Structure 1
Amino acid sequence: MTIKTRFAPSPTGYLHVGGARTALYSWLYAQANQGEFVLRIEDTDIERSTQEAIDAIMEGMSWLGLEWNEGPYYQTKRFDRYKELIQQLVDEGKAYRCYCTPEELEAMREAQMAKGESARYTGIWRDRTDYPEDKPYVIRFKNPQTGSVVFDDQIRGNIEFQNTELDDLIILRSDGSPTYNFCVVVDDWDMGITHVVRGEDHINNTPRQINILKALGAPIPVYAHVSMILGDDGAKLSKRHGAVGVMQYRDDGYLPEALLNYLVRLGWSHGDQEIFSVDEMKELFTLDAINKAASAFNTEKLNWLNQHYIKTSDPEHVASYLEWHMQDQNIDASTGPALSEVVTALSERAKTLKELAASSRYFYEDYSEFDANAAKKHLRPVAKEPLVLVQQKLSNIDDWSNAEVLHQAIQDTAEELELGMGKVGMPLRVAITGAGQSPSLDITLKMIGKARSVERISKALDFIANREANG
């Protein structure tokens, strides 16, 4: 049997981290078992479904690398199939028309609640055939009235529902549109889905769907219900905790592999291992290793993972994602060093690609002013002599590509003036970057280039002269 899983989002918003984790688990289970992964767009909520949301879901999936083998399928394009099977159930006496008005249903609920009973449809039209003419109706599924539904959840173990707890579900609305629970059942059957991985909020739907599958004579897939994700404060994850669309994590400077690694560990484990390549995830992932307890989102942990991947990944690979941030921050990367060099130079200091791009600006464009604190501390009259001498030595270097030669020029300046390296290095760093932090000076000089470096030292000397003139 070929394992076949699916991710079936409703396109009423962006792909959020909870959905992305469900998609990842579903995708990984297929990958781990040489199976197939289906993308299905459950767009039966026509009023709330949008093309923008569909595009955002697929963009998020593609950015994460969760490529699907089949799809995307759209439920709105399968209405004829659903209606055909609904009519079959009616013809077989397994579904029926219900003519209850909204007012009658409300009165039914109020009467039950007044008696302390749970509010549910009573089945008043279940066995009637005295159908009125020209009156709107829905079609309800005849749920069994005895026995129970038992299924072995791959995460939670054995789960049982008594059929007496389930009322007769509407499967076709009065406007002729099929409902979610019926469409899901037919899709999983038609698409050959063997394993359904989804959120725990669907547990109550599962017995209803199993009963419909049995009525259709369809096979029952294996179910695995994943727990919700909580914020650091224990509350349900929301925008307040940063529960935004997946592409926001791209915008905020995260690498997709860092987010994948974080999400896979948000409820699943393999011993004490924290870092997982995608290949390792595929090899090691199992459904029964998913924790049934809720998981808490921890941004600090995600930042730690992201910095790990920025530091340890191939700089060319990281640079391919950094390019988007350079463009987003209007930094023309064609006017300076290769982005892979920037990644190598700055990766130790940056938790995100957004930070990395922002801190690389001085490699590509001249700064408009010095950082006030750095200039006040390091661009003082006492720095004039070392800056003049080091500028002279740097100007005489022809092979600017050799960082060791650049380092030697700085060291020679310190020795000639009998100064510590910091007395030369810190004013020089502020001069060429405009601020007080950068990678090692020889690498920084090499990447900025000779003409820019010499010119910026002159700018720093002018700043010192103005400072002297103004007392």
Structure 2
Amino acid sequence: MTVRTRFAPSPTGLLHLGSVRTALFTWAYSRHHQGVAVLRIEDTDLERSTPESVKAIFDGLAWCGIDFDEGPYFQMQRMPRYKEVIQQLLAEGKAYLCYTSREELDQMRAEMEARGEKPRYDRRWRPEPGKTLPLIPAGIEPVVRFRNPIDGVVAWDDAVKGRIEISNTELDDLIIARPDGTPTYNFCVVVDDHDMAITHVIRGDDHVNNTPRQINILQALGAAIPVYGHLPLIFNADGSKMSKRKDPVSVVDYQDLGILPEAFLNYLARLGWGHGDEEVFTVAQFIEWFDLANVSPSPARFDREKMLWINQQHIKAADNARLAELTRPFLAKLGIEAGPALVEVIALLKERVTNLVDLAAQASYFFRHDAAPAELAAQHLNEEGRARLARLRTALTAIDSWDVPTLAAAIKAFVAAEGVKMPLVGMPLRAAVCGTTQTPSIDAVLALLGKAEVLARLERTLA
């Protein structure tokens, strides 16, 4: 059997981090088993589905580096197929027309709730031997309902949650086509999974209640039942539900925060799954290790600080030239167009940051000379500090070989000649040249800036 998985997002907004994790697990499972990953766009919600959201899905997956072997398939392009299967079920007596009005449904549910019963459709239009159906009312376009089994249970061995059994008495006869003939979500999903020969359905925990309905429809079609694996939901670190309004939950949010795509996937992989004590790993390693048996059924908690730590590890390991290109857009937001020296700057700074936003901010002083903030200037560029910097500038002017060893020796000799400790030279020097006191080793910074630029910055500061 060839493993065939599918990722089936609805294009009703930005690509959510929970959806990315589902895509990642689905994709990795197929890759691990040398199978096929299918991308399907479930766009039947015409009121909420937009081309912009479709593009956001494609862009988000491309940024993450998750690719698919088949698709994208669009459900709206498969309407003739859905209607064909609906007619098949009607002809076989496995579905029926229901003319119950909205008012009748509301009254039915109110009466059931008053009796303390679970509100559901009472199957008044379901054909049964010896049963007389109501007269077809005028002006009512019927829905099509699936003839759900009345007895027995629907059971499956969930690859994540274990054995699940739901009595058919808990399920009513699901609407599979609306009055205008358009099929409903649960029906389209079943036909798609059957036609696309999906062997493993990996999706969020919120779909568990859909599974028994979908299994019953698959059985009515004589179709194979895929393996289902329902992933735990993702909550905030405090256990609260993540909110689109107040929490960063989309791929775009994490791009804007300066997270590397491989770090993003690394962290998402650890939300509900583990491989021993491994915390930092590549996508290739994840594919090699991944199995649904190691996915926890318990909700996962999103820890932003832990994600930043993982991002930091990936930044340290990343190729400097690639990091430089990824950092350029963040520098551009600061109004900086960095030159070819950016790769060397990145090499010097990348051990010190947790994200690309910070990396750009720290790189900025290599390409733009900003005066130190007033508080910093008052502390380090006072009369004494400026006088010392003037003497240091004279000493630096005399240097012929502008490299790290020579600069380190020159600064050390200057500190000794001044009879002070290093911070009384290093801090004013950083403030004057970089506009901040938070820099890597100052000799390395000066070497990278170049002699002419360093002397010019000192002159501007001392003017």
Same fold (TM over 0.5): yes
Which digits, 9 at most, give the CA deviation of each residue in 1:245-281, with x for residues without a partner? 1111010111111111111111001112111211110
The answer to whether residue 195 in structure 2 is matched with residue 190 in structure 1 is yes
Q: Map residues 15-414 of structure 1 onto 2, 5 A cutoff.
A: 15-127=15-127, 128=133, 131-132=136-137, 135-239=140-244, 242-334=247-339, 338-367=341-370, 369-400=371-402, 402-414=403-415
Whole-Å Cα distance in 1 between the matches of residues 387 and 411 of structure 2?
A: 13
| Residues paired across the two proteins, number | 458
Preserved contact between residue 231 and residue 241 of structure 1 (Cα < 8 Å): no
Unaligned runs of 5+ in 1: 463-471
Which digits, 9 at most, give the CA deviation of each residue in 1:308-335, with x for residues without a partner? 111232222322321221223321112x
Preserved contact between residue 390 and residue 409 of structure 1 (Cα < 8 Å): no
Preserved contact between residue 322 and residue 339 of structure 1 (Cα < 8 Å): no
Shift of 1:282: 0.5
Whole-Å Cα distance in 2 between the matches of residues 18 and 325 of structure 1?
A: 26
Which digits, 9 at most, give the CA deviation of each residue in 1:187-237, with x for residues without a partner? 111111110001111111111101111111111110000111111221211
Preserved contact between residue 430 and residue 442 of structure 2 (Cα < 8 Å): yes
The answer to whether residue 435 in structure 2 is matched with residue 434 in structure 1 is yes
Aligned residue for 1:158, secondary structure, equals: strand
Most deviating of 377-386 and 243-252: 377-386
Whole-Å Cα distance in 2 between the matches of residues 157 and 417 of structure 1?
A: 73
Aligned residue for 1:296, secondary structure, equals: strand
Whole-Å Cα distance in 1 between the matches of residues 262 and 344 of structure 2?
A: 21
Whole-Å Cα distance in 2 between the matches of residues 316 and 260 of structure 1?
A: 21
Whole-Å Cα distance in 2 between the matches of residues 328 and 234 of structure 1?
A: 34
Shift of 1:424: 2.2
* TM-score in terms of structure 2 length: 0.95
Aligned residue for 2:120, secondary structure, equals: coil
Q: What letter corresponds to residue 9 of structure 1 in structure 2?
A: P
Shift of 1:144: 1.1
Shift of 1:164: 1.5
Whole-Å Cα distance in 1 between the matches of residues 325 and 337 of structure 2?
A: 15
Whole-Å Cα distance in 2 between the matches of residues 238 and 231 of structure 1?
A: 9
Unaligned runs of 5+ in 2: 128-132
Whole-Å Cα distance in 2 between the matches of residues 254 and 309 of structure 1?
A: 9
CA RMSD, Structure 1 to Structure 2 (Å): 1.6
Q: CA 1:248–1:427 in 2, change beyond 3 Å: closer, same or farther?
A: same
User: Which residue in 1 is equivalent to 2:462?
Assistant: 461
Whole-Å Cα distance in 2 between the matches of residues 97 and 226 of structure 1?
A: 35
Q: CA 1:129–1:93 in 2, change beyond 3 Å: closer, same or farther?
A: farther
Whole-Å Cα distance in 1 between the matches of residues 400 and 51 of structure 2?
A: 58
User: Which residue in 1 is equivalent to 2:130?
Assistant: none
Whole-Å Cα distance in 1 between the matches of residues 438 and 88 of structure 2?
A: 73
Whole-Å Cα distance in 2 between the matches of residues 106 and 78 of structure 1?
A: 32
Aligned residue for 1:360, secondary structure, equals: helix
Shift of 1:37: 1.1
* TM-score in terms of structure 1 length: 0.94
Whole-Å Cα distance in 2 between the matches of residues 420 and 162 of structure 1?
A: 79
